[in-house]
Amino acid sequence: MNAVLPTRKIGPLTVSAIGLGCMNLSHAYLPRPDPAQAERLLLHALDAGVTFFDTASIYGSGTNEELLGRTLMSRRSEFILASKCVLGLVDGRRNLDGSPAAIECAVDDSLRRLRTDHIDLYYMHRLDPHVPVEESVGALARAVEAGKIGAIGLSEMSASTVRAAHRVHPIAAVQTEYSPWTRNAEIAVLDTCAELGIGFVAFSPLGRGLLAGGVSGEGVPSGDLRADMPRFQSPHLARNLALYGRLAGLAEEAGCTAAQLCLAWLLSKGDHIVPIPGTTSIAHLDEDLGAVALQLSSDQLGAVDRLFKTGAVSGARYSQSAQAQVGTETWPEEELA
């Protein structure tokens, strides 16, 4: 029998309060697990009570969706499945195509790779600036009508874009990076989601591993997606690791790990928030899920707020080219690449 975790609502969907971001099982970060290790982790997550699995067509150029398809679909009724379109690779470079024709093809391709006839939540991974969001959402609405997807989501988009999309078809979820060291969602998107009854899915809730102690002073290897992010480059990395050291001290005082403190902090920010940490380690997964049982005081949570006040983190979160594809609002004093 599966373990049972507390649940939260994402629009019409009920999911475990902590989900699993599946990206780094096939994409972006190094080292990557072998397929057997990735399959074991996915099945362990399901057994441990995770009922929300998040993938995307770009992750491993479809291999991540294929991984979930061959590993989890025999237990399809036990979880909520999310994937994404619009952001892809063309000749090795990130490309946006939010045209209705491209979205229609992407939905069918995702269904084929995932070995299912229905995706519960399907996101626009990014906004294509050359296609009005209303047109892109219209294509997804037709996929809903056809029964291919159950609900529509948006990723890394501004509050104004969320509102424009929501006028075309109800948006179930907005996914944006959110953690103690990336708090752009607090400018407008979090409140917009709460107002409109939209779930908020927090990706990279552990600062892409740095806030969980997964990054050393040597940084990350060449070929790792984070190597192009200023926060993981000198001189910013050393400053950010010093912040992590202080976070780890707060966690020790609270009787938990730094990763658990981050996740508990996120869960405290609103009942409509669901973090989706990613990991290649079963031990780390179990550690993350332990955050749902924490009972932290307002003083303990407030200490995290104060440590990561705006401007405390050193370096931009994206390279200039990647930032150009992100619609989420920025702070006036935010450092941009």
**Residue-level pLDDT at 252:** 98
- Residue 95 domain flag: yes
Burial 228-256 (b: 16+ CB within 10 A, else e): bbbbbbeebbeebbebbeebbebbeebeb
- Which token pair is 120? 């519960």
- The structure's pTM equals 0.97
pLDDT in tens, 215-249: 999 999 999 999 999 999 999 999 999 999 999 99
With beta carbons less than 8 A apart as the criterion, state whether 231 and 245 touch: no
Angstrom distance (rounded) from CA 314 to CA 309: 12
pLDDT in tens, 89-139: 888 788 999 999 999 999 999 999 999 999 999 999 999 999 999 999 999
In angstroms, the Cα distances linking 149 to 120, 131, 168, 278, 304 are 6, 21, 16, 24, 38
**Residue-level pLDDT at 337:** 63
- Which token pair is 218? 């040597």
- Residue 335 domain flag: no
Angstrom distance (rounded) from CA 162 to CA 133: 9
Over residues 258-279, the mean pLDDT reads 98
Domain count, the chain: 1
- Residue 224 domain flag: no
- Residue 323 domain flag: no
**Residue-level pLDDT at 144:** 98
- Residue 321 domain flag: no
Angstrom distance (rounded) from CA 106 to CA 100: 10
Catalytic residue ranges: 59
- Residue 159 domain flag: yes
Q: What is the CATH number of the domain that holds 74?
A: 3.20.20.100
pLDDT in tens, 309-331: 988 999 999 999 899 999 999 98
- Residue 302 domain flag: no
pLDDT at 209 > cutoff 90? yes
- Residue 238 domain flag: no
The amino acid at residue 28 is: A
Angstrom distance (rounded) from CA 57 to CA 97: 12
pLDDT at 262 > cutoff 70? yes
Angstrom distance (rounded) from CA 230 to CA 18: 28
Its domain, for residue 68, covers 7-213+267-295
